Structure 1
Amino acid sequence: MPETPEPPKRPRTGTDLRRGALGTADISFFVVSAAAPLTVMAGVAPVAILLGGVGAPAGYLLAGLTLAIFAVGFTTMSRHVRSGGAFYAYIARGLGKRVGIGAALLALIGYNGMEIGVYGLLGTTTADTGHALAGLDIPWLPVSLAGLLLIWYGGFRSIDFGAKLLGILLVAETGILVLLAGGVLIDGGAHGLSAGSFAPGAVLVPGTAAVLAFAFAAFTGFESTVIYRREARDPDRTIPRATYIAVAFLGLFYAFIVWTVIQAFGSEEVLAVAAADPAGLFFTAITTYVGPWAADLMHVFIVTSVLASLLAFHNAINRYALSLAEEGVLPAALGRIHPRHGSPYVAGAAQTALGAVVVLGFALAGADPYQQLLLWVNTPGMIGLMALMLLAAIAVPVYFRRVRHDEGPWRTLIAPVTAAVLLAVAICLVISKVALFTMASTTVNTLLVALVPAVFLAGLALAQRLKTRRPEVYARFAEEPAGAAEPAVPAAPAAPAAPAAQGESAAPVVSP
């Protein structure tokens, strides 16, 4: 049987990203910083407590467990598909190029949505901090625009510069939460410490579904570890380690901090305090158990937490755009890498310009920076990234069924299928509780949710257009670049290839 011709390989350019610049800790900083732990805790956890009661901490553990199961197949596939495109590359190799291109567009829109909306949060948190500390009335728009320039500069500089900066900011925001927890534990809480938050009677309540929706949203961005493959030291080890560290840290840390705040007020009283002043719950707790000076620091560190999240997402977006430019899907100019800093600086400038357009558009429309710019732009981004995780989980067993490998069934079948089921449930939970995220009308919520399938369908249409008009781009989509390292697994003896679908690359078939 004649061999199926391989699609053309993408050549590597002379200027590349900074190879070997990131270790496990550096990548973990990017991932955890994107989640913005302090902002999530102080800004969102009080609402989770209101909805789920004292069992809210368990919701974060359950979400973390689900994503840890997803990470099993996800990181296994990262050893076989060596691409900076991450999700879209995995999906393309498992479910075909059309679905992969649809996923690529969804990823680009999803990550941009998660970042650009946060500029509204930057404006409001800075205004709140200025008012709380000095009685100042700071307009949000100049702050957001200044933030755009600051984040652009952070992305323009080398990736190790960004990792060091995020490390400092992350230590600050987690440190203030640890300080709060330490004060509560030393004093023994309001009525002594109790593990009642993890009792079945506290967890198995109707409000837990809403808590789970918030908890999954709190992990957004953890999957971006694989985006940094080209810049990682020993990526076959570094990427999985960073992924598991990020998921474990976020799940355990979120649950611990929420449990601590419940202990600070007492299981009976915390709901009343959260209902009276949800935004002030954490500040009241740290003032009581540590001191007013710590509350002032928390105000400042919330602003730096938002900045860290913005920089982490900005770097992830730039690398997605870089990969798609190298694929030929986006304009080639976006694939330019700075000769000194090794950063995708053109993609960074384009992303900053897009952010400025959206921020200014909301401002000119008189929109609220929190309830509309943040919530309306973030929500479809969050749902889109969860949909990408679901597609990636489905792609894993399909891919490993088609290729020869020496991985076990837990990594290639059981874990990814379990993760796919759990992620599908999580997406349904988030959509069913979407009004809690947006605080908007049914019409607005319907439009925001509908954006996700609409973007994916637009990606499928783009795939068909590429296949028809630029077949060479379609043929090499999600294939390994020329000169890329071979997979770490030993190559199996060649087997006759199954006929490939038109435009799809052939994959070795596993014998039954």
Structure 2
Amino acid sequence: MTDTPDTLTQVSPTSPTHPTAKLSGRLNTPKLILTVLALASPLASVSGWMPLVISEGNGAGSPLVFVFVTLAFLLFSVGFTTMVRNFPRTGAFYAYITGGLGRPAGLGASFIAMLAYLALLVGNYAFFSTAFATLLTSFTSALEFVPWCLWGLLLWSIVSTLGHFNVELSGKVLSIMMIIEVVLVMTFNVAVAATGGPNGWQVQSFTPGAFLSGSLGIGVLFACACFTGFEATAIYRTEVKDPQRTIPRATYLGVALIGMFYVMSSWALVTFYGPADAAGAATDNPSGLFEAGLRFYTGNVMAEIMICMVVTSILASTLSSHNPLARYIFALSRDGVFPARFGAVHPKHKSPANASLLVAAVGLAIILIAFLSRVDAIKFYSWMFGIAAYALLLLMSATCLAVIVYFRRNAHDESMWATTIAPGLGLLSLVSMLCVVAVYFPLLIGGSTVLGSLLQLGIAAIALSGVGLAVYLRRARPHAYTHIGGETPELAADPV
């Protein structure tokens, strides 16, 4: 039975923090980690993005690139989790940037966040289409000419259905898929670590010479694309058992675990093929680099299972981008920025059902428009992933700055390390990576400098539209303006 709006708890924009507007769930730390890291799609990253870090980046030095990116994101996490403890709002980037930099900046940030997760969502529909079509045509050529849109619609129906229910159901699905993905990759990693591979053990990957070789900037760019998802922990604030403990633990453990996973996986790939030959092997056969290594140790059966799991990995990643986007829309509706009906909580599932339905409708429209415009699926998802990577780095940089400003303005008991030093170092690292991504952005969206510039300008325009809407609300709907970021004067210092 389809739920109608009048079966849902409605939220008035004049009472955006009404208790009936709260989502609920019982996610613990392991489930939250698996839920958010599914967006990074570890198996798809190891078999898809990692060969690009090796071939287009700095080759044998790729493990140190992942070490650098992991450290940068851990520094970001210090300030991010400090805000979780001291600024108890849902909305993650949207709330924290509002608290530190003011409501116009916060609303602009929320628009960029929605763009990032929407780009990941629809990009994954196209990515799934190509991976699923490849899998099916390996069994029969009869399906070779099926339009990619149909496979995207298949995934859309699955994700939209799961997104309607409580996050616990999504968490169970994502947990199972994540565990299988990690086991498959670690089977290869442990085999290389135990045997040294065909070429023997090596530590050259961790030398300064290897790190600085090749195109370091491109390596950093593609490595960043492997980490999407960990920042979503705070979005589920009202759906975890103990947000004050669970969210910081999940954030730190998520970054550390996925970072170590990528460092070990990239070292294993370089070791297996040899430091001198790894870049060449990745250039010659990027999509088959990991598969060939796994097949060497486990035979054909495990390799075929891996090919199937790449498809389910993309499914998990798609669901992990649908859920945060629905919760951003929910938060903005709860705060009176969007229509109140999208801030409704399903009475049974305690999920943002209407917001999830809106996400599904927008995703469907974009898939159909892209297909009817005859956009190639591979080109489309490269554009979308490039937009998402750039937008998320922008948001993390702004969050580090917001943390520093917030704790300078408000009394607190936190250490200088947590409120200034770590966020400052994180800001420096993230801005450096952002500059690299801006320069090499065309590589993420197919190589066109003109298109790359237009898309970056488009991202800036979307941010400015959020700022402009906040300015309009301040004049035309001051009550809605005061609730941007989930703020109330009784609970926190009033941002600008």
Q: TM-score band, normalised by the shorter chain?
A: over 0.9
Partner of 1:476: 483
- Conservation of the 8 A alpha-carbon contact between 1:82 and 1:480: no
Partner of 1:451: 458
Deviation (angstroms), 1:433: 1.2
- Between 210-219 and 181-190, report the one with greater CA deviation: 181-190
**Letter matched to residue 201 of structure 1:** G
Mapped to 1, the partners of 2:81 and 2:204 lie a distance apart of 35
Mapped to 2, the partners of 1:340 and 1:69 lie a distance apart of 39
Which of the numbers 28, 32, 37 marks the counterpart of 2:33? 28
Q: Deviations over 1:32-60 (max 9, x none)?
A: 10100111110111111112110011111
Deviation (angstroms), 1:16: 3.3
Gaps of 5+ in 1: 1-7, 488-496, 498-503, 507-512
Q: Deviations over 1:135-164 (max 9, x none)?
A: 552542111001111001111121111111
Partner of 1:510: none
Matched, 1:104 2:144: no
**Letter matched to residue 339 of structure 1:** P
Which of the numbers 377, 388, 398 marks the counterpart of 1:369? 377
Which of the numbers 321, 341, 346 marks the counterpart of 2:349? 341
Matched, 1:40 2:48: no
Partner of 2:442: 435
Partner-residue secondary structure (3-state), 2:287: helix
Q: Deviations over 1:415-470 (max 9, x none)?
A: 11111111111111111111221123221111112122111111111111111111
Mapped to 2, the partners of 1:109 and 1:430 lie a distance apart of 17
Deviation (angstroms), 1:268: 2.1
Q: TM-score, normalised by structure 2?
A: 0.93
**Letter matched to residue 358 of structure 2:** A
Partner-residue secondary structure (3-state), 1:433: helix
Matched, 1:120 2:119: no
Partner of 1:92: 98
Partner of 1:509: none
Q: Deviations over 1:283-316 (max 9, x none)?
A: 1111112111111011110001001011111111
Mapped to 2, the partners of 1:114 and 1:380 lie a distance apart of 8
Mapped to 2, the partners of 1:440 and 1:356 lie a distance apart of 27
Mapped to 2, the partners of 1:249 and 1:409 lie a distance apart of 26
- Conservation of the 8 A alpha-carbon contact between 1:169 and 1:304: yes
Within 5 Å, give how 1:395-410 maps onto structure 2.
395-410=402-417
Which of the numbers 259, 271, 284 marks the counterpart of 1:276? 284
Matched, 1:156 2:164: yes
Mapped to 2, the partners of 1:370 and 1:72 lie a distance apart of 36
Q: Deviations over 1:76-131 (max 9, x none)?
A: 01111111111111111111111111111111112111211111001001011122
Mapped to 1, the partners of 2:164 and 2:204 lie a distance apart of 48
Mapped to 2, the partners of 1:168 and 1:132 lie a distance apart of 25
- Conservation of the 8 A alpha-carbon contact between 1:108 and 1:317: yes
Deviation (angstroms), 1:190: 1.5
- Conservation of the 8 A alpha-carbon contact between 1:75 and 1:239: yes
Within 5 Å, give how 1:123-134 maps onto structure 2.
123-134=129-140
**Letter matched to residue 50 of structure 1:** S
Deviation (angstroms), 1:182: 2.7
Deviation (angstroms), 1:26: 1.2
Mapped to 2, the partners of 1:14 and 1:200 lie a distance apart of 55
Partner of 1:235: 243
Gaps of 5+ in 2: 1-13
- Between 8-17 and 172-181, report the one with greater CA deviation: 8-17
Mapped to 2, the partners of 1:244 and 1:132 lie a distance apart of 40
- Conservation of the 8 A alpha-carbon contact between 2:224 and 2:389: no
Within 5 Å, give how 1:100-499 maps onto structure 2.
100-135=106-141, 136-137=143-144, 138-371=146-379, 373-480=380-487
- Between 97-106 and 127-136, report the one with greater CA deviation: 127-136
Mapped to 1, the partners of 2:280 and 2:407 lie a distance apart of 51
Q: Deviations over 1:388-434 (max 9, x none)?
A: 11111001111011111100100001111111111111111111111
Partner-residue secondary structure (3-state), 1:129: helix
- Conservation of the 8 A alpha-carbon contact between 2:101 and 2:495: no
Give aligned pairs, total.
481
Q: TM-score, normalised by structure 1?
A: 0.90
- Conservation of the 8 A alpha-carbon contact between 1:379 and 1:448: no
Partner of 2:9: none
Mapped to 2, the partners of 1:481 and 1:311 lie a distance apart of 32
Deviation (angstroms), 1:14: 2.7
Mapped to 2, the partners of 1:422 and 1:257 lie a distance apart of 23
The alignment-based identity, stated in percent, is: 34
Mapped to 2, the partners of 1:61 and 1:11 lie a distance apart of 41
Deviation (angstroms), 1:188: 2.4
Partner-residue secondary structure (3-state), 1:126: helix
Partner of 2:6: none
Mapped to 1, the partners of 2:301 and 2:190 lie a distance apart of 16
Partner-residue secondary structure (3-state), 2:213: coil
Deviation (angstroms), 1:187: 3.4
**Letter matched to residue 247 of structure 2:** I
**Letter matched to residue 42 of structure 2:** P
Mapped to 2, the partners of 1:88 and 1:325 lie a distance apart of 13
- Conservation of the 8 A alpha-carbon contact between 1:190 and 1:264: yes
- Conservation of the 8 A alpha-carbon contact between 1:133 and 1:296: no
Task: Tell me which protein shows more helix as a share of its residues.
Answer: 2
Q: Deviations over 1:312-339 (max 9, x none)?
A: 1111111111100001111111111111
Mapped to 1, the partners of 2:467 and 2:422 lie a distance apart of 28
- Conservation of the 8 A alpha-carbon contact between 1:126 and 1:140: no
Partner of 2:16: 10
Mapped to 2, the partners of 1:436 and 1:77 lie a distance apart of 34
Mapped to 2, the partners of 1:432 and 1:122 lie a distance apart of 28
Mapped to 2, the partners of 1:10 and 1:316 lie a distance apart of 19
Mapped to 2, the partners of 1:185 and 1:476 lie a distance apart of 53
Partner-residue secondary structure (3-state), 1:341: coil
Mapped to 1, the partners of 2:131 and 2:356 lie a distance apart of 24
Partner of 1:78: 84
- Conservation of the 8 A alpha-carbon contact between 2:162 and 2:170: yes
**Letter matched to residue 454 of structure 1:** A
Mapped to 2, the partners of 1:272 and 1:204 lie a distance apart of 18
Mapped to 2, the partners of 1:286 and 1:59 lie a distance apart of 23
